[in-house]
A and B are shown apart, each in its own frame.
Chain A
Amino acid sequence: MNKLSREEVEHVAHLARISLEENEIEKYQIDLKMLMDDVDKIKDIKNYDEEMLITPVSHKAELRKDEVGEMLDYKEAMKNVPRSNGNFVEVPVMINE
């Protein structure tokens, strides 16, 4: 069966910042290949012109006035943080001495 190499799967998993178990790698070698072959069909489609549609809105983008509005309560904002220490969000050590 047509499939991606281990390295290719590990590469896209890294791009997406996802770890994979051994059995997952095998499954994705096939699954991702099927999807990638499908999206490759785009290369054969002949477009009218180069114009792109990024978002289907026709109105002009309006920005809000740059002024202080309603703010989140501090305690509320921290409510869903998985690891915190006092008023701080905790993350693993980034720089070693």
Chain B
Amino acid sequence: MSNYLDLSIQEINKLLKEKQIKPIDLVNECFDRIEKNKDLNAFITLDKENAIKKAIELEGKEVDNPLFGIPIALKDNIITKDLRTTCASRMLENFIPIYNATVVKKLIEKNMIIIGKCNMDEFAMGSTSRTSYFGAPLNPWNKERVSGGSSGGSVVAVASRQIPLTLGSDTGGSIRQPSSYCGVVGMKPTYGRVSRYGLVPYASSLDQIGPVSRNVYENALLLNIIAGKDELDLTSSRKEVEDYTRLIGEDIKGMKIAVPNYFMSDIVDKEIKDKVNEIIELLKEKGATIDYIDIDFIENAVTIYQIIVMAEASSNLARFDGIRYGYSCENPKDMEDLYKRTRQEGFGTEVKRRIMVGSYLLSGENANVYYNKALQIRDDLKKSFEKAFEKYDLIIGPNATTVAYGINAKLDDPRQTFFDDALVMPTNMAGLPGMNVPIGFNNENMPIGLQIIGNSFEEAKMYKLAAFIEKELNLNLDPRGENNG
């Protein structure tokens, strides 16, 4: 079997242009790798037949863009016409969407080849992907550890080199935290940068689709094609889409960077802080200025996140009623019975827990006590970030408080999943873009990631810093046996 998928996207693009390889070579190789990595459980549904058909169709077409003919897979909460979309839930186990999400249309327009749908936490609720109805994906660096979540499958597929690019979604860190656990580059763009049309909603004011990749440049290439205004998503922005690769390779001298004190507090493992400190020293040495700052309300992000996310989830998931699509219980005796048993049997424990608490938080006077208050503090947190961005280009810190933990660890506390994302959810609250770039390994050879937060719509600047760090460190991020040095 060939190893074209180990080449960079630019190299593959050159070979396709020169007709030294065909898209079908990439598709065959991709499915071969997926077969060999079955045990990692990164995929829920594969679409081999249509992927092959599409690859053959492309043979007659001109290679007109950098992502032409490149295989891609999507988190299974992004809907795909005629291709099963489950949200990793029994509720949608047999759901076949009748239209494409806007991002899917964009991938098809650029002639990317959709290979299949990636595993995830059920309805994106979780930080380990263990709430998946189809079983958890495994971390390719150590198969006894979690992948992180909720975009676990999207991240594992890229980390294990089954596929070069995937899309994930990020509501409170669901792209960045697993990217940190598995050693890949993951970007949550500014809220409104990428259309959410066709993303099954979890918490609508926080959800955002974003790219997962092996390296920074390829991540920016994918953002280039999925970003932009969509008439079908009111919250998508008209702000012009720029070339997100344009600042990659530029010097970082003079960049003003802030580190929130909270990000380097006792809640973060020492080994992770040490690694981040090494990066801080490196950046200083290369001419960036680094200041430690306080961001008011950042330590309250978990509390306001819990309230907003559970409230919005309970409202969004009210649509699953057993009537129009999805799972429906047997022999319902009346409407009430239909709703209640369908939801009991169709949803998993984590989802039910969040919907119940969310319904409680929105009922009667509670809406004022909890939800409205959370929105007030959310506004204050956003203002604190705005204040920081008056002075600084970027904010950095760790992405996760720990490295990936054991596949059976920390299962008892229903709050754990929120604590896991304590450092990444503040950006979702403020709608800011955030990303993960790998910066090394702990003493057990588990990946550690750096979080980079930008001001709204300043993804290009984030890619610039990330690419600089990536080049300086030159890490081997390939977990496969002999290639792993």
Q: Which residues of A contact B (CB under 8 A)?
A: 9, 12-13, 15-21, 24, 27-28, 31-32, 34-36, 38-39, 41-43, 45, 47-59, 61-64, 72-73, 76-77, 79-83, 89, 91-94
Which 3 A-B residue pairings sit nearest by Cβ, starting from the closest?
A56-B431, A80-B325, A82-B328
Q: Are B431 and A47 in contact (CB under 8 A)?
A: no
Closest Cβ–Cβ distance, residue B232 to chain A (whole Å): 9
Residues A39 and B306 in contact in the complex (CB < 8 Å), given A18-B347, A57-B191, A82-B326 = yes
Q: Report the bound CA distance from A35 to B188 in whole Å.
A: 27
Give the residues in chain B near A56, CB-CB below 8 Å.
191-192, 205, 382, 429-432
Residue of A nearest to B231 (CB): A64
Q: Are A52 and B375 in contact (CB under 8 A)?
A: yes
Q: Report the bound CA distance from A16 to B356 in whole Å.
A: 5
Quick one: which of B310, B327, B333, B377 contacts A42, CB cutoff 8 A? Answer: B377
Closest Cβ–Cβ distance, residue A16 to chain B (whole Å): 4
Interface of B is mostly: helix
**New contact pairs (11) apart from A16-B352, A31-B414, CB-CB < 8 Å:** A15-B363, A18-B355, A31-B353, A32-B353, A38-B302, A47-B377, A49-B376, A59-B192, A76-B98, A80-B95, A80-B326
Query: Does B341 interact with chain A (Cβ within 8 Å)?
Result: yes
Q: Report the bound CA distance from A81 to B297 in whole Å.
A: 45
Closest Cβ–Cβ distance, residue A82 to chain B (whole Å): 4
Residues A19 and B340 in contact in the complex (CB < 8 Å), given A47-B376, A82-B328 = yes
Query: Does B380 interact with chain A (Cβ within 8 Å)?
Result: yes
Closest Cβ–Cβ distance, residue B382 to chain A (whole Å): 6
Query: Does B254 interact with chain A (Cβ within 8 Å)?
Result: no
Q: Are B98 and A79 in contact (CB under 8 A)?
A: yes
Q: Report the bound CA distance from A28 to B361 in whole Å.
A: 16
Q: List 8 A-B contacts (CB under 8 A).
A: A17-B339, A17-B340, A42-B374, A49-B376, A54-B205, A56-B205, A57-B191, A63-B234
Q: Are B359 and A15 in contact (CB under 8 A)?
A: yes
Q: Report the bound CA distance from A82 to B383 in whole Å.
A: 47
Q: Are B235 and A42 in contact (CB under 8 A)?
A: no
Closest Cβ–Cβ distance, residue A32 to chain B (whole Å): 6
Q: Are A53 and B379 in contact (CB under 8 A)?
A: yes
Interface residues as binary, B310-350 with A (CB distance below 8 Å gives 1, 0 otherwise): 10001000100011111110001111111111011001010
Q: Report the bound CA distance from A61 to B234 in whole Å.
A: 6
Give the residues in chain A near B325, CB-CB below 8 Å.
80-82
Residues A81 and B324 in contact in the complex (CB < 8 Å), given A35-B415, A38-B415 = yes
Q: Are A12 and B360 in contact (CB under 8 A)?
A: yes
Give the residues in chain A near B432, CB-CB below 8 Å.
56
Q: Report the bound CA distance from A36 to B374 in whole Å.
A: 14
Closest Cβ–Cβ distance, residue A3 to chain B (whole Å): 13
Residue of A nearest to B327 (CB): A82
Closest Cβ–Cβ distance, residue B385 to chain A (whole Å): 10
Closest Cβ–Cβ distance, residue B95 to chain A (whole Å): 6
Give the residues in chain B near A61, CB-CB below 8 Å.
234
Q: Report the bound CA distance from A55 to B355 in whole Å.
A: 20
Quick one: which of B95, B340, B369 contacts A18, CB cutoff 8 A? Answer: B340
Residues A91 and B326 in contact in the complex (CB < 8 Å), given A32-B357, A34-B413 = no
Q: Which residues of B contact A (CB under 8 A)?
A: 95-96, 98-99, 191-192, 204-205, 231, 234-235, 237-239, 297, 300, 302-304, 306-307, 310, 314, 318, 322-328, 332-341, 343-344, 347, 349, 352-353, 355-361, 363, 369-370, 372-380, 382-383, 413-415, 418, 429-432, 456
Give the residues in chain A near B355, CB-CB below 8 Å.
16, 18
Q: Are B373 and A47 in contact (CB under 8 A)?
A: yes
Q: Are B95 and A42 in contact (CB under 8 A)?
A: no
Residue of B nearest to A90 (CB): B323
Closest Cβ–Cβ distance, residue A71 to chain B (whole Å): 11
Give the residues in chain B near A55, CB-CB below 8 Å.
191, 204-205, 235, 431
Quick one: which of B237, B300, B322, B323 contacts A59, CB cutoff 8 A? Answer: B237
Residues A92 and B359 in contact in the complex (CB < 8 Å), given A42-B307, A53-B379, A57-B192 = no
Quick one: which of A53, A82, A89, A93 contacts B378, CB cutoff 8 A? Answer: A53
Q: Report the bound CA distance from A39 to B308 in whole Å.
A: 10
Give the residues in chain A near B304, CB-CB below 8 Å.
42
Give the residues in chain A near B238, CB-CB below 8 Å.
59
Q: Are A15 and B333 in contact (CB under 8 A)?
A: no
- Among A43, A54, A73, A77, the most chain B Cβ lie within 10 Å of the Cβ of A54
Quick one: which of A28, A47, A81 contacts B356, CB cutoff 8 A? Answer: A28
- Among A9, A31, A61, A94, the most chain B Cβ lie within 10 Å of the Cβ of A31
- Among A9, A82, A91, the most chain B Cβ lie within 10 Å of the Cβ of A82
Q: Are A34 and B414 in contact (CB under 8 A)?
A: yes
Give the residues in chain B near A28, CB-CB below 8 Å.
352-353, 356
Q: Report the bound CA distance from A84 to B379 in whole Å.
A: 46
Q: Are A92 and B360 in contact (CB under 8 A)?
A: no
Give the residues in chain A near B327, CB-CB below 8 Å.
82
Q: Are A62 and B234 in contact (CB under 8 A)?
A: yes
Q: Report the bound CA distance from A49 to B418 in whole Å.
A: 26
Closest Cβ–Cβ distance, residue B259 to chain A (whole Å): 23
Q: Are A16 and B98 in contact (CB under 8 A)?
A: no
Q: Are A93 and B96 in contact (CB under 8 A)?
A: no
